[in-house]
Structure 1
Amino acid sequence: MTLPGRQAAAAAITLAIAALWAPAAPAQAPLVVGNDSGGYLHQRLIELKQLRRSAVRVEIRGRICYSTCTLFLGLPGTCVAPGTVFGFHGPSRRGVRLKDKDFEYFSRLMARHYPEPLRAWFLHTGRNRISGVYKIKGSELIRMGIAACRGG
């Protein structure tokens, strides 16, 4: 059923006014990353894709963020706490360095998830450690241009 011109205009104005008074959709709460020692690359890439799609902001506030946890740094709006320690290492299979071709491929895949200049550092230095991790404090990442979390 269509309304005559004046009724349609009145209905449209009423809907517009109601929309102004409707409560705004609540902002989506950020994902707060606590202590995360990493995990499997494939699983983390799936998680990153979902977070990117849903536009959830990530706040890294834990004591540590090692291995694949560091890939959160490439998501838009991610912030870090200055005291969090980040641990970087190159791709491996259960602590064993990959064959050169695979090592290069997975290193570059990981690096795509880091903002510059962290990406360049990872490709030059960070990926070369397989046993253990290079530790970098959040305060250093903030100096590299990654956002600091408010209140932390």
Structure 2
Amino acid sequence: MLELEVVTPYRQVLHTQVESVIVPATDGYLGIMKNHAPLVCGLAIGVLHYGPAHGPKRRLALSGGFLEVTNNKVTVLADTAELAEEIDVLRAMEARRRAEQRLRSRAANIDYVRAELALKRAMARLQAAGVEDDKQQEHPLPSSAIEH
């Protein structure tokens, strides 16, 4: 088993025992299981999956941060993190709509990078809540990539 802890600057979001964790690293999804090598890496906006090694996983939305793996403990230091059941789906849908509208706008004063990040955060929240299709929902990595 792995000890998983997810913290933000404001609170401890999660502290539990799991068999596997799949995180949105800056270079793509990364799977972590028992006895993983020590690791520190950056996290991207996306959905963190956790739970049993096989079968349905629980999810939470991340908006970036850092990951540390040492001695079967996975620590996520996130800018923001929301458990699936905490997500206000209507608010996330409205945020997605606003971000998409800004990205379609031809106004000169639109900050497209900021709008794109807002869209990614909204999509991650909706995917974590199970509203949007997360093509990598159950198995973001092929089984061979996470089994030792």
Larger Rg: 1
More helix by share: 1
Shared fold, TM over 0.5: no
Q: TM-score, normalised by structure 1?
A: 0.27
